[in-house]
Amino acid sequence: MSDEQQSGKMWSGRFREPLDAEFENWQRSIGFDWRLLDEEIAASKAHASALLAAKILTKDETTELRKALDAIAAEYTSDAGKAQVRDHATAEDIHHFVELKLVERIGSLGLKLHTGRSRNEQIATDLRLYVRQQITLTHDALIAWAKALVEKAEAADDAVMPSYTHMQRAEPVLVAHCLLAYVEMILRDIARLMDCKARLNYCPLGSGAVAGATLALDRTIVAKELRFAGPTINSIDATSDRDFILEYLQALTFVGLHLSRFAEEITLFATAEFGFITLPEAFSTGSSAMPQKKNPDLTELIRAKVGRIHGAAEAVTLQLKGLPLAYNKDLQETQEQVFAVEFVPQMIRLVARFTTAIEFNRERMNEAAQSGYLNAMAAATYLVHKGIPFRTAHQKIGNAVRFAIEKGVELNALTLDELRQFGEEFEQDFFAAVTLTATLDCHNVTGGTARERVKEALAATLKRLDTLAQEAAHAGS
C-alpha cells in the first residue's frame, strides 16, 4: 500500500503539504452525512454488481465485497453505532468512512470498489435514495392524518358549526365538511410529493465525476438493484443536480402551511372564547404558575416548527442559485437542509393521533351556528324562489336583519307581519326555509355543505384514500 493510502486520504497523491488541521475538520461532512450509511452501502453493493458484469471484479471478489458491506451496515445500526460513524476521527465523509471500514475488513479489495466511480455520483445517488425514503415516510404519515380526519368527520355525523369569512360568522356548515376541507389539502400535498418522487427516481451511478464513468458499465444493473426507474440521462446534470432536494422541501412547505393553518384553528377553537373544542389531556400541558391552565402546546409547536421547513427551502434555493456546472462543494451544504426536516413525518403522525383525540363541544357549536343571522343568505334565497332578483332580496333581508338586531332576536323569531314590512312576498313557509337544516341543505351542489352532499363526499374521500394506500403498497419504494 502506498503512503497516501496508509494516511487514509482518498486524494492526497498530488499534495506535498499537509492540510491545515482546522480547515480539514471544518470541511468534513461525516458529522451529518453519517445518516446516509444505509444508502451508501446499498449503492456500493449495486456498484459491485456492475463491476462484476464489466469483468473488473471476479464473482468471489464481488461476493466478498457485498458481504463486507452488509457487515458494515449491521455494525452501525444502533444509536451507539451511528454515533461512532458521526464521530469518526478521520473519515472525510460517509463514502470515505465505508472505504476505510472496507479496507479494515478485506484489505486492498476494499479499494477496488472505487473503480469506475466518483463521490460526486455517489452522493447524488445516496441523496436521491434518502429523499425517496423520506417521501414515503411523509406520504404514509399524511395518509394517517387524512384517515383520522375522515374518521372524525364520520363520527361528527350532522354536527354543525359556523363557517367564517374574515373571521366573522358566515353560514352554518357541517363539522364534517370543515374536516374534509383539510383532507383536500392533504391529498394535494400527497400528489405533489408523489410527483417529486417520480421525477427523482433515476439513478446517477455511472455518471462518474462529471463526464460519465471511464469504464463501460451497464448502468441499468445499478438502477434496477436500487429500484430506480432507470439511469439518469446526462452525467453533467446528474452529478450537479439537487433540484430533487429543493422540490421535496418546496412540496413540504405546503404540508407545513396546511399543518400550521390546522394548528391555528384548533388553538383558536380551544379558547374559552370559542369553546368549540376540548383539548385532549394527553396532548396538552399545564402551567407551573397557573393551576387552572391546559395549554395547546402541540398545536403551538407545530405552528412554529413548520418555519424550519420554509427556512430549509429558502436556504437550498440560495445555495443552488448561480452555481456553475457541474459538481461544486457548495452542494454539500444542501445536505443539512434536507436532514433538518427529518422531524416532519413524526410531527404529522402526532397530529393524526391528536386529531383523533380532540372532542367537539357540539352544543356550543350548534348554538354558535344558529346565532348571528347565519341563515340570512338562505333567507334571501327564499325570496329568490318567490321570483325576486337576488340583489333586491339581499336588500330586503338586510333590512329585516337590521330590524331583528334592534329587536334583539334572530330572523326566525320575527313575526310574519314584521317580515312583511320588508316585502309582501314573505309567507308562512319562510320559517321552514330558514331552519338550521334547511340552511344547510339549500347548499345542494357538488362540494356544498348540504347533508346528503357531505355524505357523498365522505364516501368518495374514503375511496380515494383507499386507492392511494393501495397504490403506495404496490409502488414498494
Tell me which residues touch ligand ARG (CB under 6 A).
Answer: 29, 33, 93, 119-120, 123, 327, 329, 331-332, 335
- Single-letter residue type at 385: H
Residue 432 CB contacts under 8 Å (≥ 6 apart), including other chains:
438
Helix (H) or strand (E) holding 163: strand 160-165
Q: Min. distance of Cβ 189 from ligand ARG in angstroms?
A: 28
CA 426 – CA 446 distance, rounded (Å): 29
Q: Min. distance of Cβ 333 from ligand ARG in angstroms?
A: 8
Residue 129 CB contacts under 8 Å (≥ 6 apart), including other chains:
39, 42, 43, 226
Residue 30 CB contacts under 8 Å (≥ 6 apart), including other chains:
85, 86, 88, 91, 92, 93, 94, 96, 97
The dihedral through the CA atoms of 82, 83, 86, 91 has a sign that is negative
Of 144 and 341, the one with the shorter C-beta distance to ligand ARG is: 341
Of 331 and 457, the one with the shorter C-beta distance to ligand ARG is: 331
Note the Cα 274 to chain centre separation in Å: 29
The one catalytic residue in 7, 78, 108, 287 is: 287
| Catalytic (active site) residue 166 | yes
Q: Which residues of 5-15 are buried (b: 16+ CB within 10 A; e: fewer)?
A: eeeebbeeeee
Of 332 and 435, the one with the shorter C-beta distance to ligand ARG is: 332
Of 320 and 411, the one with the shorter C-beta distance to ligand ARG is: 320
Residue 27's φ and ψ, nearest 5 degrees, are: -90, -5
Of 98 and 141, the one with the shorter C-beta distance to ligand ARG is: 98
The one catalytic residue in 166, 207, 288, 443 is: 166
CA 139 – CA 469 distance, rounded (Å): 9
HEC string for 224-285: HHCCCCEECCCHHHHHHCCHHHHHHHHHHHHHHHHHHHHHHHHHHHCCCCCCCEECCHHHCE
| Catalytic (active site) residue 371 | no
Is 65 exposed, middle or buried, given 0-12, 13-18 or 19+ CB atoms closer than 10 A? buried
CA 240 – CA 234 distance, rounded (Å): 10
For residue 449, give the 3-state DSSP assignment: coil
Active-site amino acid positions: 166, 287
